[in-house]
């Protein structure tokens, strides 16, 4: 158990809908990362927050947004969902620097299925 929690574990929804994925980092970690894992794209970095501020951004679609709250938990919002958004979404956390040298610990993931 990495100490990173993600809810829900599974999510099934329809095209055009909007969902919110939630992540709680390990105790003491200030940085939260979101990754998408799909068969065709592999593991792709989406976005990083450090202590409430956006720190790095990957190829995150405009339909996707994220934020980190004062209690350091994070939410990833996916809207206007398409079939191709079906994937496993991971959250990871690290501390204390939120930089390249930090080890990221991953949550169990949320499996999103868009029908």
Partner 1 sequence: AQKVTQAQTEISVVEKEDVTLDCVYETRDTTYYLFWYKQPPSGELVFLIRRNSFDEQNEISGRYSWNFQKSTSSFNFTITASQVVDSAVYFCALSEDNQGGKLIFGQGTELSVKP
Which residue has 């976005």 as its token pair? 47
The answer to whether residue 88 forms part of the interface with partner 1 (CB under 8 A) is yes
Q: Report in angstroms how near the CB of residue 24 gets to partner 1 at its nearest.
A: 15
Provide the minimum distance between the beta carbon of 33 and partner 1 in the complex, in angstroms, as a whole number: 6
- Judge residue 66's burial from the number of C-beta atoms within 10 Å of its C-beta, 0-12 exposed, 13-18 middle, 19 or more buried: buried
Q: Which residue in the set 45, 51, 67, 73 belongs to the binding site for partner 1 (CB under 8 A)?
A: 45
CA-based R_g, the chain, Å: 13
**Vertex 67: Cα angle to 87 and 37 (nearest 5):** 15
Strand partners, 35: 45, 90
Q: How far apart are CA 60 and CA 47, in angstroms?
A: 7
Please count the CA atoms within 13 angstroms of the CA of 21 that sit on its side-chain side.
31
Which residue among 23, 64, 107, 112 contacts partner 1 (CB under 8 A)?
A: 107
Count interface residues toward partner 1 (CB under 8 A): 30
Among 8, 16, 28, 99, binds partner 1 (CB under 8 A): 99
Among 10, 14, 27, 42, the residue binding partner 1 under the rule CB under 8 A is 42
Residues that bind partner 1 (CB under 8 A): 2, 31, 33, 35, 42-45, 48, 50, 55-56, 58, 88, 90, 92, 94, 98-109, 111
């Amino acid at each position: 158990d990495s100490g990173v929690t993600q809810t829900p574990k599974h999510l099934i929804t329809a095209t055009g809908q909007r969902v919110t994925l939630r992540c709680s980092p390990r105790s003491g970690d200030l940085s939260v990362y979101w990754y998408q894992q799909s068969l065709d794209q592999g593991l792709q970095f989406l976005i990083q927050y450090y202590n409430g501020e956006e720190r790095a951004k990957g190829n995150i679609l405009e339909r996707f947004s994220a934020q980190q709250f004062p209690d350091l938990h994070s939410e990833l919002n996916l809207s206007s969902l398409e079939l191709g958004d079906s994937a496993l979404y991971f959250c990871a956390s690290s501390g204390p620097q939120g930089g390249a040298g930090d080890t990221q610990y991953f949550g169990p993931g949320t499996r999103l299925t868009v029908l």
